[in-house]
């Protein structure tokens, strides 16, 4: 057996210095030297892992992390590191690795939090809930456990239960930022007749953000009451070439709904007028990430480079490239708010467009510092951020109509930019992935067996919504309903959903519950099995509505006026339907929703025509016009910039 040689203390010290200075390439060289000298030393393998993670080379780091667990099977930290990389790569086994860490060190709450996160990511929602409740007995009031419990409950379709848990925790700790943010996000799913409380909740969150210590890690931040705004961050000015520098900040530059709507903007913004920089605040990267990287680096030329998508066209690298080697691409996931803000300042960004709002991964710690003269929130969150340092919010006149007194504007701290005809632009899947539309699959409409469907996340399916769907089924004799959501793969969630349906008065014999699909093609193929999609409320679908339309399936949605309890979250469907000339399917009340769904189901001639024509109507509409949308988006940015210059 080969004798094990310990890593030199001198190399370890140099390595630690390089890591602290974020000189990850240098750290990698030192780690590999240590490994060459001590190939069976767990410390050397862990050094390599750390350096590769710093370089965002997670695939390469996985082997080193696995080797540490083999050399030190009783070391909880090694299992935690292994699980973390599996999680970033979205591989199976992350939960098992974290469970091993918990088994080895049951009194370490951090390992429990990692395990529960892995369970949530794997949609093992009932297990995540149980793990949270068990851990809360040991660590009552632990913030990380409370908001994970809220997530587990909400994703099971129980936002009311989530609100109760969050409310109890906030009563004890009203200045806790993460709890406050989670409560705001959760409130968008709650049915109400008046949005006043929700608006106040968001504005209070913004007040707390402006008092927060930017150097406190985001996951555990609490406001520093009375804290002064930090100084020293000075943003500035157009580049010498006269172009505006526009930064896009998101944790969702990957296979995520936000990506389908931001890619046309990243790709088609006029590079003669704008320089585009992306700030990615999540370490996870995939093929969609690489497509977005090409869009940022190449602009409109990226469409022509699709054939060489796997190559480093135009200097675009992949996850193995390390650091910030990709042109116009910055990785800020490991940076605190102050460091990330300083990077944006150093890049001299003029306009920063953030795409998270108050969703998981949102960087309020960065936004409060205002590293760019103008900050805009867009696309990823259906409400105000509440943060005073965010200047504008992009919407349109259907999602946020100008009613008497403009209640939509009064609900926001940001100034609204109404980008008509639609604030979104959708990038459909390829024709190969989409396959045949509903009208092309050779199946007509059976007037005595119309199939309604909803493929939204269960979080959006309120009890009021279920009740309305039940009324639709009763109005249309012989009709059935398909509810498909990834959470329904969990048997306990299915049982809970069946109970909710029964309570809402829905005949379970007319309902089919389905879990998620393994591929996008299989998911889209399910739309060929339904005739009419029913939108959710009060939080409408966005990606699912676009998917239904491109697959030839009409959607009936609810869009109450702001003065009658409506909100942006509820009215997105009205904007999408307007683009394809189906405004008549956007109902102003629940009674209208039921009636319009029933009327469409009875009009089989109209329904079959929509099945045949909807895909073409969508693809030819403003909703899929990337260049046109990017032009309007760019004009809005210039107008905002000129307003600043004239103020």
In a domain, 45, yes or no: yes
Nearest to 454 by CA among 577, 578, 580, 553: 553
For the stretch 401-424, pLDDT in tens is 998 889 999 999 999 999 999 999
According to DSSP, residue 223 is labeled B
The predicted pLDDT at position 314 comes to 36
The answer to whether residues 376 and 454 belong to one domain is no
**DSSP 3-state assignment of 351?**
strand
Is the distance from CB of 626 to CB of 427 less than 8 angstroms? yes
The CA–CA distances, whole Å, from 29 to 4, 324, 392 equal 21, 18, 45
Q: What is the CATH number of the domain that holds 127?
A: 1.25.40.10
- Chain mean pLDDT for the chain: 90
The answer to whether residues 483 and 619 belong to one domain is yes
Q: Which domain holds residue 275?
A: 244-425+627-646
| Mean pLDDT for the stretch of residues 140-149 | 94
Confidence of residue 214 (pLDDT cuts 50, 70, 90): low
The answer to whether residues 503 and 396 belong to one domain is no
The answer to whether residues 68 and 116 belong to one domain is yes
Residue 315 has pLDDT above 60, yes or no: no
The answer to whether residues 81 and 43 belong to one domain is yes
The answer to whether residues 205 and 331 belong to one domain is no
| Mean pLDDT for the stretch of residues 265-270 | 97
Say if pTM beats, i.e. exceeds, 0.85. Answer: yes
* CA 331 centroid distance within chain: 17
| Mean pLDDT for the stretch of residues 96-112 | 96
Residue 342 has pLDDT above 60, yes or no: yes
Confidence of residue 5 (pLDDT cuts 50, 70, 90): low
Q: Number of folded domains in the chain?
A: 3
Residue 434 has pLDDT above 50, yes or no: yes
Confidence of residue 321 (pLDDT cuts 50, 70, 90): very low
CA distance 617 to 2: 70
| Mean pLDDT for the stretch of residues 643-647 | 73
Residue 505 has pLDDT above 90, yes or no: yes
The answer to whether residues 263 and 378 belong to one domain is yes
Residue 310 has pLDDT above 90, yes or no: no
| Mean pLDDT for the stretch of residues 496-523 | 95
Is the distance from CB of 298 to CB of 316 less than 8 angstroms? yes
| Mean pLDDT for the stretch of residues 308-329 | 50
Confidence of residue 117 (pLDDT cuts 50, 70, 90): very high
| Mean pLDDT for the stretch of residues 595-601 | 98
Q: What is the CATH number of the domain that holds 497?
A: 3.40.50.2000
Q: What is the CATH number of the domain that holds 296?
A: 3.40.50.11380
| Mean pLDDT for the stretch of residues 57-76 | 95
3-state secondary structure 94-162: HHHHHHHHHHHCCCCHHHHHHHHHHHHHCCCHHHHHHHHHHHHHHCCCCHHHHHHHHHHHHHCCCHHHH
| Mean pLDDT for the stretch of residues 63-88 | 95
Residue 10 has pLDDT above 90, yes or no: no
The predicted pLDDT at position 91 comes to 87
The answer to whether residues 169 and 272 belong to one domain is no
Residue 492 has pLDDT above 50, yes or no: yes
For the stretch 215-236, pLDDT in tens is 554 333 333 333 333 444 444 5
Partners of 212 in beta bridges: 223
The predicted pLDDT at position 446 comes to 86
In a domain, 59, yes or no: yes
The predicted pLDDT at position 242 comes to 84
For the stretch 352-388, pLDDT in tens is 999 999 998 999 999 999 999 999 999 999 999 999 9
Confidence of residue 319 (pLDDT cuts 50, 70, 90): very low
User: Which percentage of the chain shows pLDDT scores above 70?
Assistant: 91
In a domain, 52, yes or no: yes
The answer to whether residues 195 and 294 belong to one domain is no
The predicted pLDDT at position 231 comes to 41
The answer to whether residues 194 and 280 belong to one domain is no
**DSSP 3-state assignment of 549?**
helix
Please state which of the ranges 196-210, 344-358, 438-452, 558-572 shows the lowest mean pLDDT: 438-452
For the stretch 163-205, pLDDT in tens is 999 999 999 999 999 999 999 999 999 998 788 999 999 999 9
Confidence of residue 302 (pLDDT cuts 50, 70, 90): confident
List the end-to-end C-alpha distance of the chain, in Å, as a whole number. 75
According to DSSP, residue 508 is labeled G
The predicted pLDDT at position 236 comes to 54
The answer to whether residues 73 and 204 belong to one domain is yes
Please state which of the ranges 48-62, 184-198, 318-332, 388-402 shows the lowest mean pLDDT: 318-332
The predicted pLDDT at position 9 comes to 86
The answer to whether residues 95 and 141 belong to one domain is yes
In a domain, 419, yes or no: yes
Give Cβ neighbours of residue 235 (< 8 Å, ≥ 6 apart). 344, 345, 348, 349, 350, 370, 371, 372, 373
């Amino acid at each position: 057996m080969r004798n094990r040689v310990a890593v030199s203390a001198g190399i370890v010290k140099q390595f630690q210095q390089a890591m602290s200075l974020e000189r990850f390439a240098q750290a990698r060289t030192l780690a590999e030297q240590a490994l060459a000298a001590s190939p069976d030393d767990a410390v050397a393998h862990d050094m390599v892992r750390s350096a590769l993670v710093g370089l965002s080379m997670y695939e390469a780091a996985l082997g080193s992390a696995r080797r540490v667990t083999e050399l030190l099977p009783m070391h909880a930290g090694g299992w935690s590191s292994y699980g973390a990389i599996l999680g970033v790569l979205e591989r199976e086994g992350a939960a098992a690795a974290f469970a091993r860490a918990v088994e080895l060190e049951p009194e370490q709450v951090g390992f429990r939090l990692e395990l529960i996160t892995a369970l949530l990511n794997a949609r093992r929602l009932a297990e995540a809930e149980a793990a949270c409740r068990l851990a809360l007995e040991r660590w009552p009031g632990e913030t990380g456990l409370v908001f994970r419990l809220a997530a587990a409950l909400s994703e099971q379709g129980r936002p009311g239960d989530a609100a109760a848990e969050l409310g109890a925790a906030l009563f004890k700790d009203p200045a806790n930022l993460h709890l406050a943010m989670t409560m705001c996000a959760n409130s968008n799913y709650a049915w109400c007749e008046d949005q006043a409380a929700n608006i106040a909740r968001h504005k209070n969150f913004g007040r707390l953000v402006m008092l927060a210590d930017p150097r406190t890690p985001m996951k555990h931040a609490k406001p520093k009451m009375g804290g002064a705004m930090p100084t020293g961050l000075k943003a500035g000015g157009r580049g010498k070439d006269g172009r505006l520098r526009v930064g896009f900040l998101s944790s969702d530059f990957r296979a995520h709904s936000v990506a389908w709507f931001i890619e046309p903007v990243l790709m088609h913004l006029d590079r003669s007028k704008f320089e585009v920089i992306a700030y990615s605040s999540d370490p996870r990267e995939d093929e969609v990430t690489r497509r977005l990287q090409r869009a940022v680096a190449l602009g409109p030329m990226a469409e022509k480079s699709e054939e060489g998508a796997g190559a480093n066209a135009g200097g675009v690298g992949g996850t193995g490239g390390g650091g910030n080697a990709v042109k116009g691409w910055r990785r800020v996931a490991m940076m605190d708010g102050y460091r990330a803000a300083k990077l944006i300042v150093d890049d001299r960004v003029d306009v920063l467009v953030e795409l998270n709002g108050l969703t998981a991964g949102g960087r309020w710690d960065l936004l409060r510092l205002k590293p760019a003269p103008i900050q805009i929130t867009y696309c990823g969150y259906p409400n105000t951020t509440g943060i005073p340092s965010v200047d504008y919010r992009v919407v349109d006149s259907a999602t946020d109509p100008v009613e008497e007194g403009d209640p939509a504007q009064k609900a926001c701290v940001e100034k609204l930019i109404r980008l008509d005809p639609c604030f979104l632009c959708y990038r459909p899947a390829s024709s190969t992935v989409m396959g045949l539309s509903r009208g092309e699959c050779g199946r007509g409409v059976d007037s005595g067996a119309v199939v309604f469907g909803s493929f939204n996340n269960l979080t959006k399916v309120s009890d009021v919504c279920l009740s309305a769907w039940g009324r639709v089924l009763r109005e249309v004799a012989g009709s059935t309903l398909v509810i498909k959501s990834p959470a329904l793969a969990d048997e306990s969630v299915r049982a809970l959903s069946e109970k909710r349906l029964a309570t809402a008065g829905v005949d379970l014999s007319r309902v089919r519950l389905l879990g998620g699909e393994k591929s996008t093609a299989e998911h889209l193929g399910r739309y060929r099995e339904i005739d009419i999609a029913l939108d959710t409320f009060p939080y409408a679908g966005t990606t699912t509505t676009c998917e239904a339309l491109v697959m030839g399936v009409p959607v009936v949605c609810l869009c109450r006026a702001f003065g009658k309890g409506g909100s942006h979250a509820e009215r997105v469907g009205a904007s999408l339907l307007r683009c394809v000339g189906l405004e008549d399917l956007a109902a102003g009340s629940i009674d209208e929703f039921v009636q319009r769904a029933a009327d469409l189901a009875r009009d089989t001639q109209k329904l079959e025509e929509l099945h045949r024509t909807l895909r073409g109507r969508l693809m030819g509409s403003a909703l899929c016009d990337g260049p046109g949308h990017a032009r309007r988006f760019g004009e809005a940015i210039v107008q905002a910039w000129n307003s600043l210059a004239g103020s």
